[in-house]
């Protein structure tokens, strides 16, 4: 998935109870807003991308 131009991923997978895909290859270098990225979802912590400019809590 080409997300290199995305700046805001806040609440992207919030509450996604049936989603558990590998997102580690996503280029999230430009993301500056990612709070609550995966809260309440079934997404495993080991499958989320590595954010460098925000905290996806």
Give dist(CA 53, CA 36) in Å, integer: 14
* pTM of the complete model: 0.86
Closest CA relative to residue 32, chosen from 17, 2, 52: 52
Q: What is the pLDDT of residues 15-45, one digit of tens each?
A: 999 999 999 999 999 999 999 999 989 989 8
Provide the 8-state DSSP code for 24.
T
| Contact predicate 37/13, CB 8 Å | yes
Say whether pLDDT at 1 is over 90. no
Place of tokens 């997300």: 3
Domain ranges of the chain: 1-57
Confidence (pLDDT) at 57 = 80
């Amino acid at each position: 998935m080409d997300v290199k131009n995305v700046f805001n991923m806040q609440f992207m997978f919030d509450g996604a109870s049936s989603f558990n895909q590998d997102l580690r290859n996503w280029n999230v270098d430009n993301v500056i807003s990612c709070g609550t990225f995966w809260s309440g979802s079934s997404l495993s912590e080991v499958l989320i991308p590595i954010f460098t400019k925000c905290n996806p809590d």
